[in-house]
Amino acid sequence: MSDYIISDEPTPGLQQRFVVNPMLPLFYFMFGTTLVAWGWLAFNAYAMGSGKRVREWGILAFGAVMSVIITLGIFFLVTADVFPDIYDKYVVQCILLWKLAITYWVVIIQFSSFGLYEYLNPQHGKNSHGLVFFFVLMFLSFRGTGALAEQVPMLFRIALG
């Protein structure tokens, strides 16, 4: 008797109780910080046992490295007065657009694995505390915007914040 194996089938481990719908890290990206949202997506792929988790981690790592490179490039272009002053705010939005594109890319990939995970684990909805975690993260991120945020270098906050 041979076993039928689906290559994308999630193989959840002990952390499966922490798996959330990929939409929650996407919402956190919109309202919180990029670094935490990308870390949450990476952990979600690991906890779900996604068959594409290495690809997702690679995309997130590539996104983080390119965010720093794009930020430094735009910083040097703005300080060299390549763009007129009126365009400075719009040029900085390129960084946000890049991070948004990377986040959407990973969320779309993760939705296929999450759909299989949810189908194979019907009890998942009963013990998922993702929404509670989302609100705790939101509370902590708003509480941490004071003195702690001022000690982080500005370029790092722009690149990964």
Per domain, the residue ranges of the chain are 18-160
Indicate the pTM of the whole model.
Answer: 0.77
Residue 24, CB half-sphere, CA atoms under 13 Å: how many?
A: 22
pLDDT for 64 equals: 92
In one-letter notation, the amino acid at residue 62 is F
Task: Note the pLDDT tens digit of each residue in 13-48.
Answer: 667 777 888 888 898 888 878 888 899 899 988 888
Looking at 19-129, list the stretches that DSSP marks H as alpha helix, in order from N- to C-terminal side: 23-31, 34-48, 53-79, 88-120
Question: Residues 81-92: pLDDT tens digits?
Answer: 887 777 777 877
Intervals of the chain under pLDDT 50 = 1, 147-148
Q: What sign does the CA torsion over 118, 119, 124, 125 have?
A: positive
How many beta carbons lie within 10 A of that of residue 44, not counting itself?
A: 26
pLDDT at 63: 94
At residue 148, the pLDDT reads: 47
pLDDT of residue 154: 60
